[in-house]
């Protein structure tokens, strides 16, 4: 049986290989490994030239993490700490909308859940430490934190992860106003939104603020995505 084709959005940044240092479309290997370990065939999607028509050849989509969404995308002035990667914004926002419209299974991670929220008209809190008074979600550059959260009964994420779970995290922004058409399905004890899903339960889509790809011991979200892509059916819990 062939592996379902899982599209992964990518960064577009200067990268180094061999004697070269040039602009490149890259994605952290942990995303690729997570999709492959869950039974999917990962396909990388560079933001340059990316068009929603690519969904025609995909069985599911992962919107990966990365730089902040440009505040202009939700009509806000940028916070001094906001560091966007504008080349990704327009194609990923269009891709998120199209995936929901076409009911292509979608897992949106960290930046990805923020893209999902902004794509449908929501807004972002640009620097959580200003409100929370701590940097636990991004302890220091390149160091992941850990978040524990509770899920909403009856939600897709609850079906996959149970009533409570924990995950690595790395972000300084978060969901502010939730877009019409989305509902909060997980929060941490400090009130930060940790998951969003479509309110109408149409299609299969979960957006998470944390980084499940960074926990190789827990592939449940990736297995659920790949199972949905392969069968069109909800994966049993666990």
pLDDT of residue 235 exceeding 80, the answer is: no
- Whether pTM exceeds 0.75: yes
Residues 178/122, Cβ–Cβ less than 8 Å = yes
pLDDT at 237: 54
pLDDT at 236: 56
Position 84 confidence tier, pLDDT thresholds 50, 70, 90: very high
Query: Between helices 86-102 and 111-119, what is the axis angle to 10°?
Result: 70
Give the mean pLDDT of the chain: 96
pLDDT at 234: 74
Considering the four listed CATH numbers 3.40.50.300, 3.40.50.720, 3.40.50.880, 3.40.50.20, the one that applies to the domain covering 5-231 is 3.40.50.880
Please give the Cα distance from 188 to 221 (Å, whole number): 18
Distance (Å) of CA 237 to CA 25, 77, 152, 159, 184: 35, 42, 15, 5, 20
Which residues does the annotation mark as catalytic? 110, 211, 213
pLDDT at 179: 98
pLDDT at 152: 98
Please give the Cα distance from 102 to 87 (Å, whole number): 24
Burial of 150 (0-12, 13-18, 19+ CB in 10 A): middle
């Amino acid at each position: 049986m062939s592996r379902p084709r899982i599209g992964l959005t990518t960064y577009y940044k200067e990268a180094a290989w061999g004697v070269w240092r040039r602009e490149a479309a890259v994605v952290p290997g942990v995303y690729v490994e997570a999709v492959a370990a869950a039974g999917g065939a990962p396909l990388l999607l560079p933001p340059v030239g990316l068009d929603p028509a690519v969904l025609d050849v995909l069985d599911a989509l992962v919107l990966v993490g990365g730089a902040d969404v440009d505040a202009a995308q939700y009509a806000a002035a940028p916070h001094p700490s906001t560091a966007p990667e504008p080349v990704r914004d327009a194609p990923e926002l269009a891709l998120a909308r199209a995936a929901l419209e076409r009911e292509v299974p979608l897992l949106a991670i960290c930046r990805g859940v923020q893209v999902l929220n902004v794509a449908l008209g929501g807004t972002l809190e640009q620097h959580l430490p200003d409100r929370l008074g701590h940097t636990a979600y991004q302890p220091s550059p390149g160091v992941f934190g850990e978040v524990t959260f509770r899920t909403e009964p009856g939600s897709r994420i609850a079906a996959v992860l149970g009533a409570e779970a924990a995950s690595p995290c790395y972000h300084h922004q978060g969901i502010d106003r939730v877009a019409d058409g989305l509902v909060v399905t997980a929060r941490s004890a400090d009130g930060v939104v940790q998951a969003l899903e479509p309110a109408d339960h149409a299609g299969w889509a979960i957006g998470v603020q944390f980084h499940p790809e960074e926990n190789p011991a827990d592939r449940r979200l990736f297995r659920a995505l790949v199972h949905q892509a392969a069968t069109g059916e909800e994966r049993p819990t666990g």
